[in-house]
Structure 1
């Protein structure tokens, strides 16, 4: 099977090789046709958590986007639910650039029209709000959770399940995870099992959109 190569950008500085490659491994497992190469931005150990850090990250992300294009990847994923620098990247390179937030939101709309967003701590990323529009009917986050490490604890998981149930009680038919940190620990299947409605993982959604983009281009070129 011929594989497509995808460059994946992590928007926090990660020294641990296994952790750096985790989102890529999740995508490769879900979509065996994709081979993922991961890189991270420099000097942002806490990643992006407000407007200031997003602005600081943008030029670093765009440098990696250009680097990936020069290395000949077929598509690029920016693995952050806020889609930082995605619009700028799309006008910078000629290959598909996918943001995890817009990918998850678009995919959620194919499952239902009443969408709830489960965030880690902060409010729903703007790009998710923009894509969902009036279909966004509820937002929640786990009480007391401040980072993804908290979600790895028993109480953190329980709080995430409670928050997801609150979204369902408010009428949500589908839940979007508003933080790719939740993808890192693969919490979507746990929530889906506990709550009983589809839970959209932003990293897997980005992989799905990347594969669709590349298949579409191949079909147009007659390479099905």
Structure 2
């Protein structure tokens, strides 16, 4: 398998941690993967509100199209809510488009009978629950557990973040009967190893899961030709319409 270029697109206009994220993901990428971490140029700094996601949507779609023109083989839309994942696949041509929520939930469904998702705030849960339903995994969901922290808080005081994570993971395992834990925000990166060692269950870092899922899909595509179907859900809009309306 030749070199594969993957764009890790942070779906926010916040790049302070990009060098840290690049270094972190470089530990997990395959040798033939060239990875670039990039943020949106304008927009909100987090996507905790659906209004913010709507504002970011135009930038996400433009970056996906730009990545394909620039020769990337795949784009990861880095937000656990998977914003604009389906529209991005719809307007893509050959590029693989993935996101952390979908990747993590499907992995968790294989690794155990039930999974719990550790979220930052209760506000996030309804939209994430809709995604669980959309991905057909309702029977695999044990619970959502909230830390009472915002996206930008996780790496401000990492000791406090870990303390809250341990509290909620313990409850998820002992009370909710979770067999797998998902850290339900891509910004919760870097914590899973300590937590997994303590609780002795799989603790999925959604950032890493999305990278490995993407590499897997690229290999499957190369070896078998299996790619996103254009029949139904991911049917691409007619090129002539997009050109006529100035939206291509």
> Normalised by the size of structure 1, how large is the TM-score?
0.88
Secondary structure at the aligned position of 1:163 is classed as: helix
Aligned length: 216
1:29 aligns with 2:27: yes
Shift of 1:14: 2.2
CA contact (8 A) 2:116 2:178 kept: yes
In 2, Cα distance between equivalents of 1:91 and 1:24: 28
In structure 2, stretches of 5+ residues that fail to align are 226-248
1:176 aligns with 2:174: no
In 2, Cα distance between equivalents of 1:150 and 1:214: 31
Match of 1:139 in 2: 144
Aligned counterpart for 2:198 among listed residues 189, 194, 203: 194
In 2, Cα distance between equivalents of 1:111 and 1:216: 20
Farther off after superposition, 20-29 or 46-55: 20-29
In 1, Cα distance between equivalents of 2:150 and 2:211: 27
Q: Which has the larger radius of gyration?
A: 2
CA contact (8 A) 2:154 2:187 kept: no
CA contact (8 A) 2:89 2:96 kept: yes
Shift of 1:192: 1.0
Q: In structure 2, do the counterparts of structure 1 residues 110 and 9 end up closer, same or farther at CA, with 3 Å as the change threshold?
A: same
Aligned counterpart for 2:161 among listed residues 141, 153, 156: 156
Q: In structure 2, do the counterparts of structure 1 residues 35 and 21 end up closer, same or farther at CA, with 3 Å as the change threshold?
A: farther
RMSD, matched Cα: 1.9
CA contact (8 A) 1:28 1:35 kept: no
Q: In structure 2, do the counterparts of structure 1 residues 99 and 150 end up closer, same or farther at CA, with 3 Å as the change threshold?
A: closer
Q: In structure 2, do the counterparts of structure 1 residues 107 and 15 end up closer, same or farther at CA, with 3 Å as the change threshold?
A: closer
> Normalised by the size of structure 2, how large is the TM-score?
0.80
CA contact (8 A) 1:120 1:148 kept: no
Secondary structure at the aligned position of 2:27 is classed as: helix
CA contact (8 A) 2:151 2:185 kept: no
In structure 1, stretches of 5+ residues that fail to align are none
Match of 2:101 in 1: 101
Shift of 1:133: 1.2
Match of 1:39 in 2: 38
1:214 aligns with 2:218: yes
CA contact (8 A) 2:46 2:151 kept: no
Shift of 1:104: 0.4
Match of 1:114 in 2: 114
